[in-house]
């Protein structure tokens, strides 16, 4: 069931999303050679708690950390570790969220660790641009497929591929709600977009093919061909005046 949010609910969600965005920025600013992914995770958790929020990834279906931190050919769900030190040239995807007063925020971005290759920089740029292409298509009266097609067409026109096994989602009193928001599809198809719908739009883009594999830890997702991957995400609300990004950082 798709739940349309009231003005009161959106006010609370904005706070959850503000906290989520601040935590993402805090962790992202600390990405540099020699830092461990566990250190980034602690920074994110400390920020969320300091703002009166609760890390909503931690213990979700057994996930052990506040943030998913995925490096290079890791697509999503990388588990932070005190033994994983970042290196010059790595690209680091951080995905996290916060719960506030029963409502959730969710966002992600990929950060460069020092100087990165031209291919990595282009992948990050195209992935971030594809997110905003998808957001621009999230118009009241349109369809979920409009978002999907906008992301896919832009990514593929730039010779990258969108991951198909994992998709975006609705969000609200649960971290994952209906509807699913694929990053591939056909414009004009799918669920009708209506004011009050809140969506986590999140392109996951690979430099090579779109196939992925899951590691034995049951969480970490890798590109099947070993190519680099990038991930960007915002929580967005559909309004009569166009889409509004809720996960904007003010810190």
* Model pLDDT for residues 45-80, shown as the tens digit of each residue: 999 999 999 999 999 999 999 999 999 999 999 999
Q: Which two tokens stand for residue 232?
A: 């960007």
Instruction: Give the total number of structural domains in the chain.
Output: 1
What's the CA gap between 204 and 183, in Å, rounded? 8
If DSSP codes are grouped into helix, strand and coil, which group holds residue 119? helix
Q: Containing H/E element for 146?
A: helix 144-157
If DSSP codes are grouped into helix, strand and coil, which group holds residue 170? strand
Q: Is residue 226 situated within a structural domain?
A: yes
Letter string b/e over residues 66-96, b meaning 16 or more CB atoms within 10 A of that residue's CB:
bbbbbbbbbbbbbbbeeebebeeebbbbbbb
Q: Is residue 50 situated within a structural domain?
A: yes
Q: Is residue 197 situated within a structural domain?
A: yes
Q: Is residue 131 situated within a structural domain?
A: yes
pLDDT digits (tens, 9 = 90+) for 171-225: 999 999 999 999 999 999 999 999 999 999 999 999 999 999 999 999 999 999 9
Q: Is residue 250 situated within a structural domain?
A: no
Listed in order, strand segments (DSSP E) in the chain are 54-55, 67-71, 74-76, 91-100, 103-112, 161-162, 168-170, 177-181, 198-201, 204-206, 212-214, 221-223, 229-231, 234-237, 244-245
pLDDT digits (tens, 9 = 90+) for 92-103: 999 999 999 999
> In CATH, what number is assigned to the domain containing residue 22?
3.90.230.10
Q: Is residue 163 situated within a structural domain?
A: yes
Q: Is residue 69 situated within a structural domain?
A: yes
pLDDT band at 250, cuts 50/70/90? low
What's the CA gap between 207 and 240, in Å, rounded? 36
Range of the domain at 20: 7-245
- Could you give the count of Cα atoms lying within 13 Å of 156 in the half-sphere of its Cβ? 13
Angle CA 198–201–205, to nearest 5:
175
What's the CA gap between 217 and 74, in Å, rounded? 13
Quick one: pLDDT at residue 181?
Answer: 98
Q: How far is CA 209 from CA 66, 90, 95, 155, in A?
A: 29, 20, 22, 12
Q: Burial of 127 by CB count in 10 Å (0-12 exposed, 13-18 middle, 19+ buried)?
A: buried
With 80 as the cut, is the pLDDT of residue 249 above it?
no
pLDDT digits (tens, 9 = 90+) for 9-53: 999 999 999 999 999 999 999 999 999 999 999 999 999 999 999
């Amino acid at each position: 069931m798709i739940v349309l949010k009231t003005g009161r609910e959106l006010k609370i969600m904005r706070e959850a999303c503000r906290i989520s965005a601040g935590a993402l920025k805090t962790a992202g600013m600390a990405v540099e050679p020699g830092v461990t992914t566990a250190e980034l995770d602690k920074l994110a958790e400390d920020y969320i708690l300091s703002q009166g929020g609760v890390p909503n990834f931690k213990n979700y279906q057994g996930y052990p950390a506040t943030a998913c931190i995925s490096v290079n050919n890791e697509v999503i769900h990388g588990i932070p570790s005190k033994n994983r030190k970042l290196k010059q040239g790595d690209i680091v995807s951080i995905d996290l969220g916060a719960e506030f007063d029963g409502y959730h925020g969710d966002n992600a971005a990929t950060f460069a660790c020092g100087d990165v290759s031209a291919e990595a920089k282009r992948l990050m740029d195209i992935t971030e641009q594809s997110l905003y292409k998808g957001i621009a298509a999230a118009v009241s009266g349109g369809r979920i497929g409009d978002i999907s097609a906008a992301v896919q067409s832009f990514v593929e026109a730039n010779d990258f591929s969108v991951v198909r096994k994992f998709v975006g989602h609705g969000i609200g009193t649960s971290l994952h709600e209906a509807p699913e928001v694929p990053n591939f599809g056909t414009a004009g198809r799918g669920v009708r977009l209506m004011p009050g719908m809140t969506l986590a739009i999140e392109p996951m883009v690979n430099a090579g093919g779109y196939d992925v594999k899951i590691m034995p830890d049951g969480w970490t997702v890798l590109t099947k061909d070993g190519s680099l991957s990038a991930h960007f995400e915002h929580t967005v609300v559909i309004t009569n005046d166009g889409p509004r990004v809720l996960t904007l950082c003010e810190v």
